[in-house]
Amino acid sequence: MQDLLKKFLGQAQLLYEEMVTILCDCEALINSRPLTYVSESEHLVLISPSSFLQDIKEWSTPDIDAIDHKSLNRRIKYRQNLQKDLRTDLETHIWDFSYKEQNVEIRVNLRLEILG
């Protein structure tokens, strides 16, 4: 996560509150990544760290994310773009990692079923 923050923030100078907001978004995103799944009849239910921490499935704040950009000043626009880029890259990185991890687990389970 440090490399990701360095890549996107670089030399950016953020206020304390802005940095805390970005770190909270990263924490929420990391806690929303799937760890495993539970099979309930026909549906697979993904289990993530946030399922143990809170009952809320949605981690974003749509009312804040959908603010009219024309009424915002440059600083807020800059911060929102930075957060959006960071969320996108972090989300892609986490889901790619989870996908690879789950593929390995599925392959191992299939081999065990074939051999067993």
* pTM over cut 0.85: no
Place of tokens 């990544």: 33
Q: What is the total residue count of the chain?
A: 116
pLDDT of residue 46: 76
Whole-angstrom Cα distance, residue 15 to residue 110?
50
Question: Residues 35-87: pLDDT tens digits?
Answer: 877 776 677 777 777 777 765 555 555 555 555 555 567 777 777 788 788 77
Domain boundaries, the chain: 1-54, 57-115
Query: Whole-angstrom distance between the N-terminal and C-terminal Cα of the chain?
Result: 40
Distance CA(106)–CA(114), nearest Å, equals 12
CA-to-CA distance for 113 and 116, rounded, in angstroms?
5
pLDDT greater than 70 at residue 21: yes
